[in-house]
Amino acid sequence: MLFSQLRANHYLHIAEQAVKQSARTNHDVNFNWPMRFSSFLVRALAPEISARQLGTILSKIKADILIKSADLLDDQSEAIEYTVTVNESSTQAEARQILLFDNDKRLHDALNVLDTSVNINLVSTLESLPEQMKHQRPDALLIDSESVSQSQTSLSEIIEKVREQNSSIPIFTYQLAQLDKTLQTDNVCVDVLEHVPIKLDDIKQGFTELLSKVNHYLTVEKTIQRMLSRNETLDYTLSVDKRDNKFVATFDNLQYKQIIQSKDIQESALFQQSLPSATLDDVIGLERAKMRLAEVIGWLKHPEKLSNFGIKIPTGFLYAGPPGTGKTLLAKAVAGECKLPFFSASAAELSSPHSSGTTENIKSVFAVARKYAPSILFVDEIDAIAGKRTANNDGSSRDRNLTVNALLTEMDGFNTQQEPVFVMAATNHPHLLDDALTRPGRFDEIIYCDLPNKKARQVFFERFANKHSLSWPIETVEQLTNISQGMSAAQIDQVLRESIYQAVGNNEPLSTAHVKDTIVRIVYGSPSDNITLSTEEKRRTAYHEAAHLLTHKLLFPTHLVDFVTIEPRNQALGFVATRSPDEYESLSKQKVHDQLQVLLAGKVAEAICACDQNQVSTGASNDIEKATRLAMHAIFEGGLEASVGPINVGMLTKYEESELLSKAQNAVKTWLADAEKNVTALLHDNLEKLELVALTLIEKESLLKDEIDTLFI
């Protein structure tokens, strides 16, 4: 029980004593240990550090070195000497704020003359110490031992006062003296990391050494605390070389690896635990989300920066957007950038058919994440378990309410400054979540993950081409970028994978044709094997789709058409896939009239094809429904019909009968009749082009953008 209360500095002192003891031992085999080797010894034992093990770890290190050098020894070797080095790769922490507890200003005044980036402040009384600690928020506290001995306050009382404000701040003592004065060098209290003598005749050198010690202890203590809380071990390689009859032992490639305890592994059916290697650079697109998350990463890497302002880090963020837009990858990238343990669970894994089972699962997952804090917990499809609470008393409603309450309770009590846990969740339906979850303090912000824009899609294909050494010209990449509009990141990834499957399956080199075929299949569906069109039906469908295509090209010349087909796919005999410009365009009255003509063009073309109005099929029923809905939106809600006025017809006529409703309905009929009349004239004026497109469709059945553009040159 006694050892469990030891702090990092206590372990360091025990290790230092072991190193000193080893140096005093006189054997035929001598080891020259590097400065501050004690920190390596402590880390080598983590996470199971004990005072007893620290007393024996050095013997194990010596044995390892001797075993490694066995092949280098010869029978003539008598006294053997090893020089030991440790190649550290981690960045050392730096103190920026230092508070001096001193009853005179000699050191403070001398230091302020020096050119240093450290901000140094002075406090001289115990009464003012708490206020200065709160105001200055120092990285380290330096206490003048002479000031303590001259006052009526003990060092223990000062430290107790300090710990009330900051339980983890490193504390050093120092002593000022002339060159010829004997200096105290021993620690005077177990809570003091080190006692440092400073000679007034050489303030700069003395303070530089002191600052180096402060930074070293800050780094080591932070590392050891992290290793203990996250259950990390230190991996390293040991090599021994012989140089000029001397041996050099080098500890290199130091890496920290987290280990999961056995009982936590038993509970892993509820979640997956990992230390992701993904970074924000791996996330293509989502630039706004990445910029915001870059700030979050800074907070998670250095929570003390926020704590210096007295604020805690945000509890969590919610990712919202369509399926396959990279929400999970974003969460992993945040964990990867921070090098934090990543716990992920889906709502399906957390859900339980038993009463209160979901609540218990949530508590278990949060408990494990807290155990390895600082960490990140990610819950996918959270809307499935965190829907809006109701006042119903049935069993399912009670369980849902309990589940939401459990989430709220865990998130409220989840965030501490010393061991923060950042909660991230993803949903396709943020509006379904209970309002209490999305208020500040729970999910502090909703980050929307949109479908990849043109630039992002281009990066997808460029990276794919580079990865597989494909020499795709810019025009090819741009063409693939254009025809993949509206696809999610997951769909594009699927396209690229299945293109490789197709090429390998056919024993062919990978080409853009494979990618195009896969895009068409994934986006537009595969041709139906169950529906076969007669010659007449195929001709009718060709004229129908050709009319849609031609009218769209004539009335919306800036809009692109990526694909047209008369092969039955996805419950449709044929369709035209169009794409609006990247710039947003609002609906005007003229654009609505033009769109109505595009929608009704297929029906008109069937009459032209058959030369008989009575031969028009019901294949245009979906087009008519869309046209009616569009006209109603413009007139009933958009206020684009002058005879009706800028009025929401549905809202105004909801509670009573009105002539306004009849007037609006007649306006819809008029708009549709005018559109049919205008598109009939338009198609007759361009009959030759209509027939060319229809005949091409009959021949090829499906056309991609480049083939379509060729018809309209």
Q: For residue 92, what are the CA distances in angstroms to 222, 254, 288, 422?
A: 10, 14, 32, 25
The token pair that represents 191 in the structure block: 């809570």
Please name the amino acid found at residue 107: L
CA distances in angstroms from 398 to 347, 382, 392, listed in the order given: 18, 18, 7
Handedness of CA 530, 535, 537, 538 (dihedral sign): positive
User: What are the φ and ψ backbone dihedral angles of 358, each rounded to 5 degrees?
Assistant: -65, -40
Contacts for 294-297 with beta carbons within 8 Å, 24 or more apart?
296/334, 296/422, 297/334, 297/337, 297/338
What's the start-to-end Cα distance of the chain, in Å?
86
Amino acid, res. 90: S
Of 496, 559, 542, 520, nearest to 696 (Cα)? 542
Annotated catalytic, 545? yes
Q: How many CB atoms lie within 10 A of CB 185?
A: 10
The burial class, CB within 10 Å (0-12 / 13-18 / 19+), for 345 is: buried
CA quadruple 687, 693, 695, 699: dihedral, nearest 10: 180
* Residues 690, 552 contacting (CB under 8 angstroms): no
Biggest alpha carbon distance in the chain? Answer: 118
Whole-number Å distance between alpha carbons of 643 and 666: 10
Do β-strands 97-101 and 140-144 pair in parallel, antiparallel, or remain unpaired?
parallel
Name which of 171, 153, 280 is nearest 221 in CA terms: 171
What sign for the dihedral angle of Cα 522, 523, 526, 531?
positive
410-439 as b/e, with b when 16 or more CB fall inside 10 Å?
bbeebbeeebbbbbbbbbbebeebbebbbe
Q: Which residue is catalytic, options 545, 567, 641, 676?
A: 545
Helical ranges in 231-375 per DSSP H: 262-266, 287-301, 303-307, 327-338, 347-350, 357-371
Neighbours of 603 (CB within 10 A): 23
Catalytic residue numbers read 545
